[in-house]
């Protein structure tokens, strides 16, 4: 019997018969010697070129930060997102797009096509456990064992631009300017104020500034036209495009909004637009969005809402003061997404005015599920007391100041649940609420309009797909004389084009791990292991076709499937030298 290829999310995707080194050797830096023979990595080191007559497309990659699965109108929400919805409806929406549970691991996979444990973000730098520190794959920044899609596109003649959140390294050597982007304006850390005050989202010292680099140079203050993060990142991107518009070269533009990441902040006029819209609370909103997703065809008609996260009170149980506070949180959050849509519309208008839109692939996605943690959660004070003290003493928490500069607001578990009502939990979890995100691709020249793809797509597939679309080969295991890992993702261009997916991809196995939380996907089956309060601290087995909300644990009733899925996890962990943390913050 032929051996079926085992495709593992964020794994090495080795063809059958490829050698496998012990994990301890890979941790000594020999991971990349696995695929020295070109033939051994043929499935990943090269991609089929586009037709010779095709003009290479421009690429606009848009990433938002902590947005829920249903927040866009085209994905079931009521927030005003006409510009993004127009693109989504005229393109391909993905109902089964998988990211990592948090931001920097997703970004590492997005830009390289490799597993986050290989690329240097085996854990977030902020969450690194003592036993992970100093280990290969746990550098806390994008390491030199991977090459970015920006570098490959630049080498092939593309102009490469990046604005927004980087979160893949703070030094000059790990900045966007050093990883393939010719022009860049990057907020380097995980979060910051959305205004020009440069307040970090988290810091143990009160006088620190959020780090920003412009074309590699560290800034001491932000430009005078930095009125609001989403506005400025689009302004800067348009400026890059305008400066080089007569070059005759295609462009790769990576627009990484920091919205709607906490602290939740938005212009007063945008917040006022949503005044009163959420007065009936998160329980009512969850039901409306659930029904809307079914109507749109994004969910099975039999899908039901999952229970709210533990400790989240029903809306009816909140007192008037709590409802008032909670309502304003959601109004600000909605305003942030509204602003993402507005400023994206300005960028699309620029592309139209310069006859660039028709030959531009626009890919939009969130980096993980909505943020359901809360500032008052136990982890924030117990695990990070200095950071919590700085936050408490340097911000104005009054109701009147909510959403303004110097405010500090979280979305909260109730609204995060309403943003993905059919899914379990939220950002930080390896359940579907943490990893299944809204994503779409718009490119009418090659992709069908109005199509919804239900195929399983990983964020690690983006780089291989973009390379196939542009006809550019991945160098495999060597880039400019240094050993690199080949992509673990695979091109999903056929799924984007609405074509049938090969049988082996229909049964692909995708694994993930972050902060000790683990998961494996194989067809309709999903295996999950998360510590309390996320899970039971044991393996749980679900059939997502019948139970997308992960509510019926089948581990005891399907022991053979459980055993098979555990073996998939073990292979994933071995292939990627996963080091389970010996310390957890609880995030």
Active-site hit among 35, 41, 103, 417: 103
Question: What does the alpha-carbon distance between residue 583 and residue 580 come to, in Å, rounded to a whole number?
Answer: 9
Whether residue 167 lies in the annotated active site: yes
Q: Is 35 an annotated catalytic residue? A: no
With 0-12 / 13-18 / 19 or more C-beta atoms within 10 angstroms meaning exposed / middle / buried, residue 217 is exposed
Closest listed residue to residue 493, CA positions, set 524, 529, 455: 455
Q: Whose CA is closest to 89, among 462, 446, 352, 442?
A: 442
Residue keyed to tokens 């927040």: 71
- Sheet of strand 525-529, all strands in order from the earlier edge strand to the far edge: 509-514, 517-522, 525-529, 540-543
Q: Which candidate, 112, 141, 136, places its Cα nearest to that of 126?
A: 141
Question: Tokens 């065809």 belong to which residue?
Answer: 297
Cis-peptide, bond into residue 263, ω within 30° of zero: yes
Angle 239-241-242 (CA atoms, 0-180°, nearest 5)? 65
Integer Cα distance of 167 and 368 in angstroms: 14
Question: Which DSSP helix (H) or strand (E) runs through 525?
Answer: strand 525-529
Residue 260, token pair as written in the block? 């709607």
CA distances from 527 to 13, 428, 475, 522 (A): 19, 16, 33, 9
Structure tokens given for 325: 């506070």
Within 8 A by CB and 6+ apart from 251, the residues are: 58, 59, 158, 159, 160, 161, 241, 244
CA distance 513 to 132: 13
Other Cβ atoms less than 10 A from the Cβ of 52: the count is: 6
**Phi and psi for 514 in degrees, rounded to 5?**
-160, 130
Candidate list 35, 41, 117, 167, residue with the active-site label:
167
CA angle 351, 251, 52 (to 5 degrees): 105
Residues marked as catalytic: 103, 167
């Amino acid at each position: 019997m032929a051996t079926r290829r085992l495709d593992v999310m964020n794994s090495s995707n080795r063809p059958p018969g490829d050698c496998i080194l012990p994990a301890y050797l890979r941790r000594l830096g020999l991971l990349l010697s696995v695929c020295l023979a070109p033939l051994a990595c043929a499935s990943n080191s090269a991609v089929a070129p586009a037709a010779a007559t095709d003009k290479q497309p421009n690429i606009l990659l848009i990433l938002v930060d902590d947005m829920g699965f249903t927040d866009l109108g085209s994905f079931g929400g009521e927030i005003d997102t006409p510009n993004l919805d127009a693109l989504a409806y005229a393109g391909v929406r993905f109902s089964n797009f998988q990211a990592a549970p948090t931001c920097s691991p997703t970004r590492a996979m997005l830009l390289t096509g490799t597993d986050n444990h290989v690329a240097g973000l085996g854990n977030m730098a902020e969450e690194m456990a003592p036993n992970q520190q100093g280990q290969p794959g746990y550098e806390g920044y994008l390491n030199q064992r991977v090459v970015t899609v920006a570098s490959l596109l630049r080498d092939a003649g593309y102009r490469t631009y990046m604005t927004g959140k980087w979160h893949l390294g703070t030094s000059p050597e790990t900045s966007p300017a050093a990883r393939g982007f010719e022009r860049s304006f990057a907020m380097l850390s995980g979060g910051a104020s959305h205004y020009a005050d440069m307040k970090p989202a988290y810091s143990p010292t009160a006088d620190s500034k959020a780090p920003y680099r412009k074309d590699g140079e560290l800034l001491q203050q932000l430009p005078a036209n930095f009125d609001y993060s989403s506005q400025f990142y689009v302004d800067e991107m348009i400026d890059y495009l305008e400066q080089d518009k007569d070059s005759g070269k295609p462009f790769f533009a990576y627009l990484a909004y920091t919205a709607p990441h906490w602290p939740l902040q938005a212009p007063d006029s945008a917040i006022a637009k949503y005044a009163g819209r959420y007065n009936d609370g998160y329980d009512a909103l969850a039901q409306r969005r659930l029904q809307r997703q079914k109507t749109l065809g994004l969910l099975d008609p039999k899908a039901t809402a999952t229970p709210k996260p533990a400790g989240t009170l029903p809306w009816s149980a909140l007192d008037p003061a709590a409802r008032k506070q909670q309502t304003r949180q959601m109004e600000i959050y909605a305003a942030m997404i509204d602003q993402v849509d507005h400023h994206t519309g300005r960028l699309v208008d620029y592309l139209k005015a310069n006859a660039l839109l028709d030959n531009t692939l626009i890919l939009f996605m969130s980096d993980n599920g909505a943020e359901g943690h809360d500032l008052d959660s136990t982890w924030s004070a117990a695990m990070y007391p200095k950071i919590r003290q700085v936050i408490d003493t340097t911000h104005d928490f009054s109701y009147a100041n909510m959403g303004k500069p110097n405010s500090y607001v979280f979305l909260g578990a109730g609204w995060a649940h309403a943003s993905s009502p059919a899914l379990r939990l939220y950002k930080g979890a390896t359940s579907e609420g943490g990893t299944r995100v809204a994503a779409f691709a718009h490119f009418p020249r090659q992709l069908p309009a109005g199509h919804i793809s239900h195929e399983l797509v990983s964020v690690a597939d983006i780089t291989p797909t973009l390379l196939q679309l542009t006809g550019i080969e991945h160098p495999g295991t060597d880039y400019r004389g240094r050993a690199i890992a080949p992509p673990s993702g695979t091109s999903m261009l056929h799924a984007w084009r609405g074509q049938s997916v090969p049988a082996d991809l229909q049964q692909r196995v995708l694994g993930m791990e972050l902060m000790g939380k683990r998961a494996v996907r194989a067809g309709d089956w999903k295996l999950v292991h998360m510590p309390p309060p996320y899970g039971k601290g044991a393996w749980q087995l679900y059939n997502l076709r019948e139970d997308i909300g992960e509510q019926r644990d089948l581990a005891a009733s399907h022991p053979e499937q459980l055993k098979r899925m555990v073996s998939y996890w073990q292979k994933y962990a071995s292939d990627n030298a996963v080091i389970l943390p010996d310390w957890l913050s609880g995030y």
